[in-house]
Amino acid sequence: MYSARNPVAGGGPNTSGYGECGSATVGAWYPDASVVAKQASLGGEYAYAPGTALDAASSDVMPDTISSPINDFSTLPTDPGGYGHSGLRGSGISPLESLAVSTAFHPVARLVPSAHSDAVLQSTDGVLFYVHRVILAEASSNGFGSALLHDAAAPIAVNDDSAVLNIILHAVYDLPSAHFSPSFRTLVDAVDRMEPVYGVAPTRFILPATSSDLFAQLYSHAPHRPIDVYMLAAHHGLEDLAVLVSGHLLSFKLETLTDDMTERMGAMYLKRLVFLHLDRLKRLREILLVLPPPHEGGGCKADPQRAWALAAAELVNDAKPDLSPHLLAASMKGFAGDIPCARCMHNFQTRLAEAAELWSNVPASI
C-alpha cells in the first residue's frame, strides 16, 4: 500500500511498498484541482497511483508522490465512472473516507488511449479496479463472470481477492505483472479461475511471446516446483509451458505421483511424461549396445569390447532419465583403465565420445 498525506497535516509518504495486487489507499476521486486542494487543507489522506495526477507544483501535494503530473486538468474525466464528487454512489463512503484503488487500474490510467474506464470491479478485500467493458467483453466468453451484466453506476463485486484479480486483469490487458511479486499460489489460483469463472481462456493469454509476463512468471518456478507447474500447464492445455517444464522433470520419481496429481494433469500429459522417461532410457540402452571396434590384426590380446559391455551393463542398471552426457562419459571411462593397447584404448574413447554426443541429442522434453 502507498499513501501520501497532506504535508500541512504533518504526514509523509508511506514507504512500505506495494502489495501483490498493487493497490493504493486513496481519498474519493476529485479531478478538480481546487477541490483536491480544499480537501487536503482539511487534513484528508490521498494517494496517487503512478501515472495519475495532480499538479506537481501544487503546494498541497508532495511532489515526490507524483510520477507523471498532468497540469491540464481539463483533459481528465469530470466524473470517472459516474460516481460523483460526494463519494461512491450508494456505497455510504464519504469523500473524506479512504478507499483502496489498484495502482494499475485506477481512474485516469491510460490503458486504452481512446477511452476512459467505464466499469469498476471490487475485489473481496475491497480494492477497486477501473476497467473497460469492451476489453473484458472481447476477452471473455461469459461477460467476465456476468460482471458486465451489472449496472455501471456502482462497483461490481467479484468473488476473488485483489491479488488474484490483479493477475487476471494484467493478462487480459496484456500487461506485465511480475513487479508485484505474486506468490506461486496466487499465480496458480489466478490461472485456475480464469476460464471457469471469468470465461478467459488461459491458452489465449498465457503465451511465450506476449507483453504479459504471466508465462515467464510461471516458468520461473519450474526449477523448484516442476511438477506443480507441469500439472497447471497440462490441466489448462498450455502446451508450450508444459514442454518447457517437462525438461525439469527428468529426475522426478514417477512412482510418487498420487491419484489427485494424475487427475489434474490428465491422461494425455501423464502418458507423455511417462514415455519421456521410458523413451530416454530405451534410447540409452540402444546407444550403449554399439560396441567399439576390435583391434584387427597384430595378435592384440586386449578386449575393449568386454570392457565396454561391463561398463554399459553397470551404467544402464542404475541410469536415470536425467543422466548427463558428462556423467555418462565419466562412468564409462573408468572401465577403460585396464586396456593395455593404445589402439584399443583409442577405439574405446572414440566410441565413448560418439555415445555421449548421441545421448546429448536425445529429446529431453515431451
Please provide residue 225's backbone torsions phi and psi, each rounded to the nearest 5 degrees. -135, 55
Contact yes or no for 141/114 (Cβ under 8 A): no
Q: Which of these ranges, 57-61, 82-86, 221-225, 266-270, has the smallest mean pLDDT? A: 57-61
Contact yes or no for 236/200 (Cβ under 8 A): no
Contact yes or no for 266/235 (Cβ under 8 A): yes
Long-range contacts of 143-146 (CB under 8 A, 24+ apart): 143/199, 144/198, 144/199, 144/200, 145/197, 145/198, 145/199
pTM over 0.85: no
Residue 146 has pLDDT above 80, yes or no: yes
- Residues with Cβ within 8 Å of residue 329, at least 6 apart in sequence: 352, 353, 355, 356
Per-residue confidence band for 327, with pLDDT thresholds at 50, 70 and 90? very high
Per-residue confidence band for 50, with pLDDT thresholds at 50, 70 and 90? very low
Q: What stretches of 55-201 show up as alpha helix (H) in DSSP?
A: 133-139, 143-146, 162-172, 184-198
Query: For the chain, give me the number of helices (H) and strands (E)?
Result: 13, 7
How many alpha carbons fall within 13 Å on the CB side of residue 63? Answer: 5
Q: What amino acid is encoded at 70 in this protein?
A: I
Contact yes or no for 211/174 (Cβ under 8 A): yes
Rounded average pLDDT over 177-187: 96
Per this entry, what is the length of the chain? 366
**The pLDDT of residue 150:** 81
Rounded average pLDDT over 3-22: 42
Q: For the chain, give the mean pLDDT.
A: 78
Q: Which of these ranges, 117-126, 193-202, 231-240, 329-338, has the smallest mean pLDDT? A: 329-338
